Amino acid sequence: MANIEIVCAACGAEALLRREPVFEGFRKTGERLLCSACGHAYDNEAEVPFKGQQRPQVFTAADKPQAVDVFEDDEKHRNCRYCVHYVVNPFTQWCGLHRRDVEATDRCDQFKRKPPAPVAKPPPPPPKPLL
């Protein structure tokens, strides 16, 4: 059984969806979808506001929390992870300047930014055969 309860977009009433057949001669060509309260016609099934589909609008966009920005722009990337002295190997993370174990999120006053990684160019295409 199809859902027939709607909240009409025209009158706002909770009503039933009325389906009337459309005939061309003696042949049925389609259906008209009507609100039983006011007679408002819907063009297709996708436009019909069925009762269970609508969610209550409790919150608006103004109620969403603002994004929290913990770090300022200049201190976002001053972690050991972005330092030139930071060395990673499978067993430990190491600071080459202080010669000690560190974590990627550690910081120090001797921070020196890594140069940007070079962009790798794709290899040239293989030569065409001489056939």
The domain 74-117 is placed in CATH, from the list 2.30.29, 2.160.10, 1.10.10, 2.20.70, at 2.20.70
Write a three-state SS string for 21-88.
Answer: EEEECCEEEEEEEEECCCCCEECCHHHCCECCCCCCCCCCHHHCCCCCCCCCHHHCCCCHHHECCEEE
C-alpha span between 10 and 107 (Å, rounded): 62
What pLDDT is recorded for position 76? 59
Q: How confident is the model at residue 16 (pLDDT cuts 50, 70, 90)?
A: very high
> Per mean pLDDT, which range of 13-17, 42-46, 52-56, 94-98 is the poorest?
52-56
Quote the tokens at residue 120.
């790798």
Each residue's pLDDT tens digit, 73-92 = 666 577 888 899 999 988 99
Domain coordinates in residue numbering, the chain: 5-47, 74-117
Q: Which of 71, 91, 66 is nearest to 82 (CA)?
A: 71
Q: pTM of this prediction?
A: 0.40
